[in-house]
Amino acid sequence: MLLQLNKTPIILIGFMGTGKTTVGSYMRNQLKLSYMDLDQYIELKEHMTIPQIFDEQGETHFRDLEYKYLKDTLNKFDIISTGGGIIENQASLDLLKLQKNVIWLDCDIEIVFERIVNDPHRPNANNKSLNQLKNLYSSRISRYNEIAFMKVNSNQNVSDIYQEITTSLTSD
């Protein structure tokens, strides 16, 4: 498939555990495009894990790093998956609003909960009940919606998600 990106990256957004990294890697393999997971990029550049950054420098500092490296990755990669909380930072939100191909992956919060409950690598999911996670999810939905070009139900297999995204991008 020939996808004309015209230097506009495909950016995957959505809550934790909605499959952004899985879909991003799958798209990279299928489309032979460059791909980066923003969390992974931050860890590589900062030589720290995400939980270490949260613990030692705090979430606000992590959000600043997210913004800094988002700017970086936008100019370097064709496909980027972002962390679920990127929309918590106004500067990141504003920057994402300017991007064309922002894809929102979304699925039932109960499914997300099963996937991420007590994940030690996710400080904002660790030790959270289903209700607490639901509240966090609800507080973020309008911002995902505000910046997304399309919303995809990610409670389906990855090849179907891929088909849905590429069909929409090529029928522009």
CB 50 to ligand S3P: min, Å: 5
28 annotated binding-site participant: no
Q: Rounded CA gap, 138 and 144, in Å?
A: 11
Q: Rounded CA gap, 44 and 52, in Å?
A: 13
CB 133 to ligand S3P: min, Å: 10
Comparing CB distances to ligand S3P, the nearer of 9 and 123 is 123
Q: Rounded CA gap, 40 and 48, in Å?
A: 10
Comparing CB distances to ligand S3P, the nearer of 42 and 165 is 42
Q: How does strand 79-81 pair with strand 10-13? A: parallel
115 annotated binding-site participant: no
122 annotated binding-site participant: yes
Q: Which residue's beta carbon is nearest to the bound ligand S3P?
A: 83
Comparing CB distances to ligand S3P, the nearer of 9 and 84 is 84
Comparing CB distances to ligand S3P, the nearer of 122 and 169 is 122
Instruction: Give the residues lining the site for ligand S3P (CB under 6 A).
Output: 16, 20, 39, 50, 83-85, 122-124
Kindly list the distances between the CA atom of residue 149 and the CA atoms of 2, 10, 49, 157, in Å, as whole numbers in the listed order.
20, 10, 31, 21
Q: What Rg, from alpha-carbon coordinates, does the chain have? A: 15
20 annotated binding-site participant: yes
